[in-house]
Amino acid sequence: MSAGSPHGSEVEARSMGRVDRLVHRVLRAILEGFCRVFWRLHVEGRDRLPVAGPFILAPVHRSNVDFAIAGAAVPRVMRFMAKNSVWKYPRIGRFLERMGTFPVDRSRADRGALRNCERALAQGDPVVMFPEGRRRDGDEVVDLLEGPAWVACRNRVPIVPVGLGGTDRAMPIGAKLIRPVKIHVVIGEPIYPDVPLEGRVPRAAVAGLTEQLRLAVHQRYDEARRA
């Protein structure tokens, strides 16, 4: 299927080459510099991130700038999901694929996107998954999707809760422009799935990890907002 297809969720996550990773690192460094100047970005808890190997980064989701902040906060090549409508523009779609991004259809349970998460993890890269799915309003973290916990359990990788404070003011839902407000990021301790090393993943393990993640994201979000 072409990169410009409206059904971009069928695009497979590609393996990133050495040049692609170099470009990714340069762009990430530029992005972090911008965020530190424009939003006075402060990141707390970077030392809690796994220094090697795959994991899932699970931030709270209150703004369209959350993607940029998550990318700037973690000093590694990160893999993202982007809404599949972006793939209507072939050049943008191809560039995003080279940068390790893959599409997701947010109107349904997109199993293809979850498989792409697993492919990226198998390549040794961290993956950003917003457990709330779409952007939410308010100070509470409720009703998480089970996709991130399911992927973490199936692939036996840790999931890292993240609170983003100030992004809802930097670009509120419905806003067209970004605002220069302070943004504070709190990275929590990795949560390791309590599952057998091999075999099927118990349904109860996914539900339990989802609730554990909800509480951890809520706590990190409270800390980030207070800061």
pLDDT of residue 9: 52
Nearest-CA neighbor of 115 among 196, 12, 201?
A: 12
Q: Is the pLDDT of residue 119 over 90?
A: yes
Tokens 């931030």 correspond to what residue?
Answer: 59
Q: Is the pLDDT of residue 4 over 50?
A: no
CA–CA distance, 151 with 144 (Å, rounded to integer): 14
pLDDT of residue 5: 40
Greatest extent of the chain over all pairs of C-alpha atoms, in Å? 49
Q: How is residue 98 written in tokens?
A: 């080279």
Q: Is the pLDDT of residue 145 over 80?
A: yes
CA–CA distance, 188 with 106 (Å, rounded to integer): 26
Nearest-CA neighbor of 167 among 136, 209, 213?
A: 136
80-117 per-position pLDDT tens digit: 988 888 888 889 988 999 999 998 887 677 888 899 99
Domains and CATH numbers, the chain: 8-226 (3.40.1130.10)
CA–CA distance, 213 with 51 (Å, rounded to integer): 21
Q: Is the pLDDT of residue 188 over 50?
A: yes
Return the higher-pLDDT residue of 197 and 123.
123
Q: How is residue 168 written in tokens?
A: 């809802």
Among 72-76, 88-92, 216-220, the least confident range: 88-92
pLDDT of residue 14: 77
pLDDT of residue 33: 98
- Quote the DSSP letter at residue 99: T
Mean pLDDT over each residue of the chain, to the nearest integer: 91
In contact, 225 and 165? CB cutoff 8 Å: yes
